[in-house]
Amino acid sequence: MSKEFELGIVLLVIGTVILLDIQKGAPIPTETGVAKLVIKNVSVEYESVSLDKICISVNVTIKNVGSSSFGSAFAPPKKIIFETVVHGNQQVNSCLVRIKPNGTFHFKSLFFEIFEIKRDLGEYKKYKGIVFLKNESGKILDKKEFFVSPPTAKVGDTTSVGRHNLSLTLLSLKESKVAVYGPYGLDNEYYYTFTAKPGMKFIILIYKVQNKWKRSQKTPVFLGKIATDRGHVYSYWTPPRGIWSWEYKPIEAAPEEVRTLIGKSGSYEYLAPRESTMGCLIFEIPSHEIPVEASITDVPVLIKLK
């Protein structure tokens, strides 16, 4: 007798026994009690912050505080719906879940589900949001409010750099008629000073970037914008034609000028664990305007300058 034949007979016997039990009225396992889902926590992650908008993701933790599972182990998972509204923007997401009594479920927004909140220059107000938890028929099971306010930093503060395990410390803000930029040369050994155009001045935002990770890594590119008291926005400055930007009167910089004005952004530098590097962003603005706030790519804060 083949093994396949023997296995078939065993399965047939098992199936017959189960069928006889059901015919005799043997109970099918069920859970008693009632499931009750509530929103335990709502958290906000700031994906990017710029002068004119804030991009966030919303994460939700729900808990079953009832005496029975939501979505029995003996039945398919149940559908729950998250409806999130923030500053007039709405998103609806759904999941299939099983949650035991006293169990939790964490919902994390995906990259394409980021909320984009428009803001005016110099505006730091809170934006109210609300999350509705619904069952598959659309009935509201719970709701919870939360607030979004643009995170800010000032000179002297340390903040994170995106998701790179890097920190950025804002060291100083300088106003100057000259700026240093580089490096140039085959071995990147030369820096040059540039003089602002008539009626203009340079604003130099100096910072330190440190690797907080246990492995070496490369810093991201640092770009930025600055806003002034006149409501004007200016992008970071670089010499338009390098050392041949004659309108800026390029001259090779002295070591002291490089030490105090930095001249590089700190982008794309390899840092060993705990190693740091200096960087700066340069902005050219009219002499009569005053900088009030700035933003740096990959740094999720608004930098208050006054």
Instruction: Give tens-digit pLDDT for 37-46.
Output: 999 999 999 9
Give the whole-angstrom CA distance, residue 124 versus residue 101.
Answer: 41
**Rounded to the nearest 5 degrees, what angle is found at the Cα of 283, between the Cα atoms of 277 and 288?**
140
Give yes or no: residues 167 and 290 share one domain. yes
Give yes or no: residues 138 and 51 share one domain. yes
Q: Which of 148, 183, 210 is the last residue of a domain?
A: 148
In a domain, 1, yes or no: no
Give 7-38 pLDDT, tens digit per residue. 555 455 555 544 444 455 545 555 567 999 99
Q: Which of 275, 272, 277 is nearest to 216 (CA)?
A: 272
In a domain, 128, yes or no: yes
In a domain, 13, yes or no: no
In a domain, 20, yes or no: no
In a domain, 23, yes or no: no
Give yes or no: residues 226 and 261 share one domain. yes
**Total structural domains in the chain?**
2
Q: Among 84-98, 130-144, 213-227, 283-297, which stretch is predicted with the lowest mean pLDDT?
A: 84-98
Claim: this prediction has a pTM higher than 0.75: yes
Tokens coding 228: 């002034």
User: For residue 231, what are the contacts with CB-CB under 8 A and spacing of at least 6?
Assistant: 121
Q: Which of 98, 114, 148 is the last residue of a domain?
A: 148
Give yes or no: residues 192 and 143 share one domain. no
Please report, for the domain that includes residue 181, its CATH number. Answer: 2.60.40.1240
Q: Which domain covers residue 133, as residue numbers? A: 37-148
Residue 2, pLDDT score: 55
Residue 17, pLDDT score: 47
Residue 162, pLDDT score: 81
**Rounded to the nearest 5 degrees, what angle is found at the Cα of 304, between the Cα atoms of 298 and 306?**
155
User: For residue 262, what are the contacts with CB-CB under 8 A and spacing of at least 6?
Assistant: 180, 204, 206, 278, 279, 280
Instruction: Say what percent of the chain tops pLDDT 90.
Output: 72
Average pLDDT over residues 87-115: 86
Give yes or no: residues 156 and 122 share one domain. no
Give yes or no: residues 56 and 144 share one domain. yes
Q: Which of 148, 175, 207 is the last residue of a domain?
A: 148
Please report, for the domain that includes residue 63, its CATH number. Answer: 2.60.40.10
Give yes or no: residues 191 and 47 share one domain. no
Give yes or no: residues 206 and 219 share one domain. yes
pLDDT, the chain, mean: 89
In a domain, 29, yes or no: no
Q: Which of 214, 204, 200 is nearest to 248 (CA)?
A: 200
